[in-house]
Amino acid sequence: MTKNVSELFGAMVFNDDVMRERLPKEIYKSLAKTVATGRTIDPSIADVVANAMKDWAVEKGATHYTHWFQPLTGVTAEKHDAFISPVGACKVVMEFSGKELIRGESDASSFPSGGLRATFEARGYTAWDPASYAFVKDGTLYIPTAFCSYTGEALDSKTPLLRSMDALNTQALRILRLFGDTVTRHVDITVGAEQEYFIIDKAMYDRRKDLVYTGRTLFGAPAPKGQELEDHYFGPLKTRIAAFMADLDEALWKMGINAKTKHNEAAPAQHELAPIYATVNIATDQNLLTMEYMKKIAEKHGLVCLLHEKPYDGVNGSGKHNNWSLTANGKNLLDPGKTPEENIQFLLILAAIVKAVDDYQDLMRISVAHAGNDHRLGANEAPPAIVSIFVGEELDAVIRAIMSGTSYHGTKAPMMDLGIPTVPVFRKDTTDRNRTSPFAFTGNKFEFRMVGSSQNIAMPNTVLNTAVAESFRQFADVLEGAINFDVAVAKLIKDTFVAHHRILFDGNGYSEEWEREAARRGLLNLRTSVDAYNAFTDPKNVKLFSSLGVMSEAEMRSREEIYFENYSKIVNIEAQTMIVMASRDYIPAVETYIAQIADTAAKKTAVCPDASCAVEKDIIRRLSELNATAYGAVERLRQAETDAASIENARGRAECYCSRVLPIMAELRAAVDQMETLTASKCWPVPTYGDMMFRV
Ligand code: ADP
Ligand code: MG
């Protein structure tokens, strides 16, 4: 079956080409300008755009439209309205107005608002984001929107992201102007999010309540084989997986998503999909759509896609490597370049990023804090909870030379008058492959690897954009007032590296020595999500977001509340699921098995009184003890769970779930997993790790 990919690509997207073709020239120009400059749309053109969009969508089979948004639940939301409008008694026409395109009204009361709802109205508004293309999916025209309260407070992930893009653009332009760039009108933030996931057979999945309710296995002894042979990573694709991936690619291409690379990942049944990068708000929308399609298309193949950060204990978890860079006039600003002038600009931008990540380590950590990601960070091939930066040997040597005022010996290039060594023509291969670093320079972009596989990338990018905007703002303030720019910029670069080099680390991020070393350097180690959330509304963080217009203090407080609430809800569901599985499946299954063995022993003794029953007795003794332990843990879990749930204050509740409920969950799991290894396979009520990971 050959398909014409270039014809198929973007077929369901109302993209620039379609707009150019279908909109009157003046309207197209006005819209394109709105998008390029990030301004609000001129209402007078909205009716024309809406009508063209509707005609196009109807041709693609659409009957409905929806404002598609990203509430703080972490997934996307949509409500479909038909285009129909009655004319006369029994006739309709398909209609879609500019007003309907630009603004939607929706009842916000069922979405998390973290207290913003209490003070304001229940109504929420969705506002069209013209910078992200509309598309048709399953008979509906999807319009990407931002979601906010009646009084304009952001109730979604998208609004702060859009604001952070604006903040970074403004400050980055100030820096470019200082270097004599008078032409760049807009600095583009580009992101490529590599998505990891697991695949499991649907029939097995259906038999695991933990996967169904929580997305991860809460029980399960390790399979005899894990990922130690490393035979899965980049291994040949199984037929069923290959068919799923081919379908997925086709679906994504139709949506204009540049799904580029696909391969097996480190753990058995783990895979990855990487798109070609796009502007960050589009990359965000596309990643959400990619996750949705992964789930949907897997079902078609009798499979289930697991996007949880840690579906299985003891093997790799899933992350989302967020590749981030800045582009001006088609030129990558993180490309070290060949000429000294550009190098100075590059070094200043690098210094700004190093400073941003060091100053806002806590926000970087918070942006990836999620109950699911806590099981991944610091375990099996995932970066630790400590934020640090890897720049690679070559850049590290350059930075050291700058700090000490000596020349950089790795290059023949002469020292410049300013005492800044020129960056050598950069060989991309000398940078990467420190897989243990949470934030690594990979030649011409930074890769933030702490992001969890299930997370919306909006928040990590909002933090990154805003923190870097703040560095640029401070730098521009200094440099714009400088008497001698060259001297001032050299001093600024040096001072910044001296002040922030503690965040640079090229060693093994998985090691215990690094934890000690990081503590010595005064770097934060916010182990759990709850530790991280506690730092969110720190005065310095409130100042950062509010001064750059990305989030107000009220918006931050509401988000903080939602973080804590969401964490408690997740752990609560997990604890409840464990209680149900242990008391209704595992404990009875083990009792049944014990009874069978006791029966066997009794029958054996009746026939042959001197036959040994040592095996039966030993199994019965050990299983009885473990089952009693499991039973006791269930009772304590119930109690701890009830106590936690009764705590009024969201922060206190989350802290209790984290410090009291999770440890009992671990005890219960340990007892059940041990019983699994002693119980006959035919008596075990659920598929095992071996079944789930190796029989796809
Ligand atoms: P790897 O990380 O395996 O070396 P690549 O470097 O090819 O792979 O790219 C990984 C991801 O980074 C891809 O999604 C790619 O599109 C993205 N990427 C590449 N260049 C940029 C850039 N300038 N800005 C943002 N993302 C980028
Ligand atoms: Mg990568």
DSSP helix/strand/coil, 3 = coil
Q: Whose C-alpha lies nearest to ligand 1, atom 6?
A: 442
Evaluate whether residue 464 is within a structural domain: yes
Evaluate whether residue 556 is within a structural domain: no
* CB neighbour burial string for 306-317, b if at least 16 within 10 angstroms, e if fewer: bbbbbbbbebbb
Distance of CA 436 from the midpoint of ligand 2 (Å):
12
- What would the pLDDT profile of 419-473 be if each residue is shown by its tens digit? 566 666 655 555 556 778 899 999 899 999 999 999 999 999 999 999 999 999 9
For CA atoms 248, 451, 689, 314, give the dihedral sign. positive
Distance of CA 77 from the midpoint of ligand 2 (Å):
29
DSSP helix/strand/coil, 127 = strand
Test site for ligand 1: of 445, 446, 449, 451, most ligand atoms within 8 A of the Cβ: 445
Which residues keep their CB under 5 angstroms from ion ligand 2? 321
Are residues 521 and 395 located together in one domain of the fold? yes
Identify the residue whose tokens are 């071996």.
690
pLDDT at residue 413 above 70? Answer: no
Are residues 330 and 440 located together in one domain of the fold? yes
Last residue of a domain, one of 319, 337, 363: 319
pLDDT at residue 117 above 70? Answer: no
Least confident span in 105-114, 196-205, 444-453, 551-560: 105-114
Closest ligand 1 atom number to CA of residue 327: 23
Evaluate whether residue 386 is within a structural domain: yes
* Cα 326 to Cα 188: distance, rounded to the nearest angstrom: 6
Are residues 170 and 66 located together in one domain of the fold? no
* Cα 504 to Cα 524: distance, rounded to the nearest angstrom: 13
Q: Residue 299 has which token pair?
A: 């079902």
Evaluate whether residue 266 is within a structural domain: yes
Phi, psi for 124 (deg, rounded to 5): -130, 155
Give 502's DSSP letter. G
Crossing angle (nearest 10°) for helices 614-645 and 587-607: 160
Distance of CA 186 from the midpoint of ligand 1 (Å):
21
pLDDT average, residue stretch 286-290: 96
CB 253 within 8 A of CB 259: yes
Q: The domain containing residue 353 runs over which residues?
A: 157-192+323-551
Q: Whose C-alpha lies nearest to ligand 1, atom 25?
A: 191
- What would the pLDDT profile of 470-524 be if each residue is shown by its tens digit? 999 999 999 999 999 999 999 999 999 999 999 999 888 888 899 999 999 999 9
CB 149 within 8 A of CB 121: yes
Evaluate whether residue 122 is within a structural domain: yes
Residue 33: predicted pLDDT: 85
Distance of CA 162 from the midpoint of ligand 2 (Å):
25
Which ligand is closest to the CA of 273, given by its number? 1
Which CATH number does the domain housing residue 116 bear? 3.10.20.70
Structural domains of the chain, count: 4
Single out the residue of 173, 124, 192, 298 nearest to residue 696, CA to CA: 298
Residue 408: predicted pLDDT: 62
Distance of CA 207 from the midpoint of ligand 2 (Å):
34
Are residues 163 and 137 located together in one domain of the fold? no
Are residues 412 and 505 located together in one domain of the fold? yes
Least confident span in 190-204, 262-276, 312-326: 262-276
**Phi and psi based region of residue 398 (left: phi greater than 0; alpha: psi -120 to 50; beta: remaining):** alpha
Q: Does ligand 1 come within 6 angstroms of the Cβ of 63?
A: no
Q: How many alpha carbons lie under 13 Å from residue 442 in its C-beta half-sphere?
A: 18
Distance of CA 337 from the midpoint of ligand 1 (Å):
18
Are residues 171 and 144 located together in one domain of the fold? no
Q: How many alpha carbons lie under 13 Å from residue 595 in its C-beta half-sphere?
A: 7
Last residue of a domain, one of 319, 351, 372: 319
Are residues 547 and 410 located together in one domain of the fold? yes
Measured between alpha carbons, how far is residue 59 from residues 49, 62, 139, 461 in Å? 16, 7, 10, 36
Which CATH number does the domain housing residue 635 bear? 1.20.120.1560
Question: Which residue did the predictor score with more confidence, 292 or 430?
Answer: 292
Are residues 62 and 170 located together in one domain of the fold? no
Are residues 583 and 496 located together in one domain of the fold? no
Single out the residue of 502, 496, 499, 553 nearest to residue 524, CA to CA: 502
Closest ligand 1 atom number to CA of residue 191: 25
pLDDT at residue 612 above 80? Answer: yes
* Cα 110 to Cα 496: distance, rounded to the nearest angstrom: 46
CB 383 within 8 A of CB 436: yes
Are residues 238 and 385 located together in one domain of the fold? no
- What would the pLDDT profile of 216-261 be if each residue is shown by its tens digit? 999 999 998 888 777 777 888 889 999 999 999 999 999 999 999 9
Are residues 287 and 365 located together in one domain of the fold? no
Q: Residue 428 has which token pair?
A: 């991309």
CB 350 within 8 A of CB 489: no
Q: Does ligand 1 come within 6 angstroms of the Cβ of 261?
A: no
Give me the DSSP letters along 529-588. Answer: HHHHHTTTT-HHHHHHHHHTTS--HHHHHHHHHHHHHHHHHHHHHHHHHHHHHIIIIIHH
- What would the pLDDT profile of 129-155 be if each residue is shown by its tens digit? 888 899 999 999 999 999 988 778 898
Q: Whose C-alpha lies nearest to ligand 1, atom 13?
A: 192
Are residues 41 and 142 located together in one domain of the fold? yes
DSSP helix/strand/coil, 467 = helix
Share of the chain above pLDDT 70, in %: 93
Last residue of a domain, one of 128, 156, 184: 156
DSSP helix/strand/coil, 189 = strand
Distance of CA 264 from the midpoint of ligand 2 (Å):
14
Distance of CA 437 from the midpoint of ligand 2 (Å):
12
| pTM of the complete model beyond 0.85 | yes
Evaluate whether residue 137 is within a structural domain: yes
Q: How many residues does the chain have?
A: 696
Distance of CA 354 from the midpoint of ligand 1 (Å):
20
Evaluate whether residue 257 is within a structural domain: yes
Closest ligand 1 atom number to CA of residue 432: 4
Identify the residue whose tokens are 């703002």.
473
* Cα 285 to Cα 145: distance, rounded to the nearest angstrom: 10
**Average pLDDT value over all residues in the chain:** 91
Evaluate whether residue 557 is within a structural domain: no
Measured between alpha carbons, how far is residue 297 from residues 75, 241, 248, 294, 300 in Å? 18, 11, 6, 6, 5
Q: Does ligand 1 come within 6 angstroms of the Cβ of 279?
A: no
* Cα 403 to Cα 398: distance, rounded to the nearest angstrom: 9
Q: Does ligand 1 come within 6 angstroms of the Cβ of 192?
A: yes
Test site for ligand 1: of 321, 323, 461, most ligand atoms within 8 A of the Cβ: 323
Contacts of 493 (CB under 8 A, 6+ apart): 344, 347, 348, 351, 402, 420
Q: Where are the beta strands (DSSP E) in 352-404?
A: 389-390
Phi, psi for 477 (deg, rounded to 5): -60, -45
Closest ligand 1 atom number to CA of residue 258: 16
Measured between alpha carbons, how far is residue 385 from residues 273, 415, 510, 523 in Å? 24, 39, 10, 11
